[in-house]
Structure 1
Amino acid sequence: MRILVSNDDGIFAEGILALIRAVADLGEIVVVAPDQQGSASSHGISLHRRLVPKPVDLQIQNVEAWSFSGTPVDCVKFGVTQFGEQHPFDLMLSGINEGRNLATDVLYSGTIAAAGEAALQGIPALAVSLDGPPFPFDEAAQVVRKMVDRLQFKTLDADTFLSVNIPAESVDGPWVVTRIGAEGYRDRFIRHTDDDGQAYYRYVGDVVRNIEDDDSDITVVNKGCISITPLRYRFTNEPAMDTLKTWF
């Protein structure tokens, strides 16, 4: 089995190291992950800067690891083209993210985007996030290992990947298949001034709570269960097509 691993927290993040250790015995593991923190990079790719790969010795058997100076999606694209053309990957794992990726988080998350890119390239993929603190990454990684064992002989639709959210306080909780919740953010920008008197701003998103369905990822994780949400990059609003046809 060949597994491609990436994340958005960086190649030395505790979450990705725990994940690699948990699956290292399953076969050949190739890691291509950002050389620095890349959270909230969404599905961005780098078109106007140099991308530099560097080998990294993670001291884990059966693991070839590279840091990459691009986004999480850059990492997946590079991994697939450089290491997966002759011998395709059987699975792609993204994470384990330090923090949850629920509801509208999926629009911004580099963890989600890395798995989504793999799915676009026909590779079954899981994006894994840990809702903490605390962040018991090793325990969460064992949950992922069980999921991988369960999924080895299953087939997802070609463009579908799974977003897994594990609550830190109940990593052994039941697994529940969910839909994306409606929770979003109220945007704020806080003004600061640097030592030279130059004004700058930092973004702060205040969570806007909504009444959630019983099968939403928000509700399920808040109940202490592990959320498994199937995602796909098909954005067309099919019902709206009929309306637009009457307008145009």
Structure 2
Amino acid sequence: MRILLSNDDGIHAHGIRSLCKALCDTAEVYVVAPNQERSASSHGISLHRALEVHEIEVPGATKAYETSGTPVDCVKWALAVLHPKTPFDLMLSGVNAGANLATDVLYSGTVAAAGEASLQGVKAIALSLVGPPFHFHPVMQALQSMFPDLCALSLPPDTFLSVNFPENPDPQKTRWTKLGVRKYHDTFRLELDESGEQVYRYGGDIVDERGDGQTDVQAIYDGYISITPLRYRFANEEYYEKMQSIKR
């Protein structure tokens, strides 16, 4: 099996390094990730600047490359440059240091990297760890136990998975979930930057809505590993059908 790894925490992050070490004995692992943290980059790509790519050493990786771009840039480059010669059986994004629950998936570079691979026909899974604290060793143990079943899943062509691990994951406690709702009380704190200019720094408190008990948010509160199937389909088809039925 040949696996592509990426993330939005950067190629030096503990999560992706731990994931590479955990999988390298059972798979041929390629790592293509940003050279620095690109959290909350969503599905952004580098249209107006050149993409720098450098091969580096990552323990356990067959090949590893850092890029100057976003997580989606990394996946696009890997599938355009590496994939034709060495096709990937699976793409894993993460493990992210922080949950990607509910509507956070709209902002997450971790989720976007997996989504891009799925759009290009590669089976993909985004992996995230709730915290802080972030203890990756228990996550690797749980993932290794779950890995054969995850690999055996047959996903529709437009579908990928978002897996969120609680602080102390038990591979026997998994739950298939749908997206919950996560809102923020947005705040912008006025500060002075290094040159003395006034700037605003974003912050805010999370407000979770657990929903009907079948959401990813509720699963994490209950101590379960949450597995949510996602796809990119933004059209409101029900409203479209309603409007089509209106007599003009």
> TM-score under structure 1 normalisation?
0.94
Q: Is the 8 A contact 1:9 1:37 kept in 2?
A: yes
State the shift of 1:247 in Å. 8.1
CA distance in 2, matches of 1:222, 1:173: 16
Tell me by how many angstroms 1:211 deviates. Answer: 4.7
Name the stretch that deviates more: 90-99 or 26-35: 26-35
Residues 102 and 211 of structure 1, relative CA distance in 2, 3 Å threshold: closer
Displacement after TM superposition at 1:173 (Å): 5.5
Cα pair 2:34 2:71 within 8 Å, conserved: yes
Name the counterpart of 2:102.
103
User: Which secondary structure state, in structure 2, belongs to the residue aligned with residue 168 of structure 1?
Assistant: coil
C-alpha distance in 1 between matches for 2:238 and 2:193 = 50
Equivalence for 1:18: 18
Q: Please, which runs of 5 or more residues in structure 2 have no aligned partner?
A: none
Deviates more, 1:91-100 or 1:207-216: 207-216
User: What does residue 7 of structure 1 align with?
Assistant: 7
Deviations 1:185-204 (A, max 9, x none): 12221111235431101111
Structure 1 vs Structure 2: percent identity of aligned residues?
50
User: SS of the residue aligned with 1:33?
Assistant: strand
1:65 counterpart = 2:64: yes
2:74 corresponds to 1:75: yes
Task: Note if 1:188 corresponds to 2:187.
Answer: yes
- Kindly tell me the number of residue pairs found equivalent between the two proteins: 247
Q: Distance in 2 between matches of 1:93 and 1:148?
A: 11
Contact 1:19 1:138 in 2 (8 A): no
Q: Tell me the equivalent position of 1:45.
A: 45
Give, in whole Å, the separation in 2 of the partners of 1:112 and 1:16.
14
Residues 78-120 of structure 1, C-alpha deviations (whole Å, 9 max, x = no match): 1111111133210000000001000111000000000000000
Structure 2 residue aligned with 1:166: 165
CA contact (8 A) 1:96 1:141 kept: no
Q: Deviations over 1:202-232 (max 9, x none)?
A: 1113212325211100001011000000000
Distance 1:154 1:173 in 2: 17
- The structural deviation recorded for 1:22 is 0.9
Aligned to 1:138: 137
Q: Which residue is equivalent to 2:35? A: 35
Instruction: Tell me by how many angstroms 1:134 deviates.
Output: 1.8
For 1:27 and 1:195, the matched residues in 2 are separated by: 46
RMSD (Å), alpha carbons: 1.6
By how many angstroms is 1:17 displaced? 0.6
In the alignment, is the contact (CA less than 8 A) between 2:209 and 2:217 conserved in 1? no
Partners of 2:41 and 2:108 within 8 A in 1: yes
Choose 30-39 or 49-58, whichever is displaced more.
49-58
Paired position in structure 1 for 2:212 = 213
Residue 184 of structure 2 aligns to a residue whose secondary structure is strand
Distance across 2 between alignment mates of 1:237 and 1:156: 23
Instruction: Check the 8 A contact 2:118/2:124 in 1, yes or no.
Output: yes
* Corresponding residue for residue 243 of structure 1: 242
Aligned in 2, Cα 1:222/1:86: closer, same or farther, shift over 3 Å?
A: same
Q: Name the amino acid aligned to 2:90.
A: L
- Secondary structure of 2:168's counterpart equals helix
The one-letter amino acid paired with 1:21 is K
- CA displacement at 1:5 relative to structure 2: 0.3
Q: Which moved more, 1:41-50 or 1:130-139?
A: 130-139
Provide the secondary structure at the position in 2 that maps to 1:209: strand
Asked if residue 176 in structure 1 is aligned to residue 175 in structure 2, the reply is yes
Unmatched segments (≥5 aa) in structure 1: none
